[in-house]
Amino acid sequence: MEIKIVEDKKHNLVLDVKGISHGFCNALVKELWADSKTKSAGYHVDHPLVGVPRILFESEGDAKSSLLDAIKRLQKKVTAFDKEFQKVM
């Protein structure tokens, strides 16, 4: 995974993230929207075969902090899913 910060402002972040899938992008954007301070969150890929996902995020608070919080929440969900999945294996 390779992250390139395209825009970095207090309330806005734009990131190009090479090496991730639509599934990851969708999960992260959904988690960003779970925060009441989120004003906008989304991603797009310019070309389905060679494009790099670009994540766009705007928050009423500090955008970096909100993104890190969303990542932590997503990590907890993945860990919980893994534990439950291991029980049924």
Residues 6+ away with beta carbon under 8 Å from 23? none
CATH of the domain at 66: 3.30.1360.10
Report the number of distinct structural domains present in the chain.
Answer: 1
> What is the rounded distance in angstroms from the CA atom of residue 1 to the CA atom of residue 73?
20
Three-class secondary structure of residue 85 per DSSP = helix
Three-class secondary structure of residue 43 per DSSP = strand
Whether this model's pTM surpasses 0.85:
yes
pLDDT digits (tens, 9 = 90+) for 30-82: 999 999 999 999 999 988 788 899 999 999 999 999 999 999 999 999 999 99
* Domain with 15 in it: 2-88
Residues 6+ away with beta carbon under 8 Å from 20? 1, 53
Three-class secondary structure of residue 80 per DSSP = helix
Structure tokens given for 49: 């075969």
What rounded mean pLDDT belongs to the chain?
Answer: 95
